[in-house]
Amino acid sequence: MLLWLVKIFLLTHKYQVKYYNENKIEKDIVITFNGIYGYEKQLRFIDEKLAEDGYSVVNIQYPTVDDKIAEMTNKYIVPTIDEQVKN
């Protein structure tokens, strides 16, 4: 029961994509995403610094306990990268 509560309240994240400096691309696009159990806010400092340096930054937060790593990559990360490459 305790493990289930930890999984539900601490380890489950919603899918979220956050953009930094997307309208002013001076350099390449940098895509950041957290490892297992990470949150977008853990990379916010790095994302903001990259944006200050002229990079367009896309941060992907994905649900980390719902699927296997390969499935999460195909479901959340690949489509976001494909969208950025098309633009």
Pairing of strands 29-33, 56-61: parallel
Confidence of residue 48 (pLDDT cuts 50, 70, 90): very high
The pTM assigned to this predicted structure is 0.64
Residue 54: pLDDT over 80? yes
* Residue of 44 and 2 predicted with greater confidence: 44
Per-residue pLDDT, averaged over 57-77, amounts to 80
Per-residue pLDDT, averaged over 45-74, amounts to 84
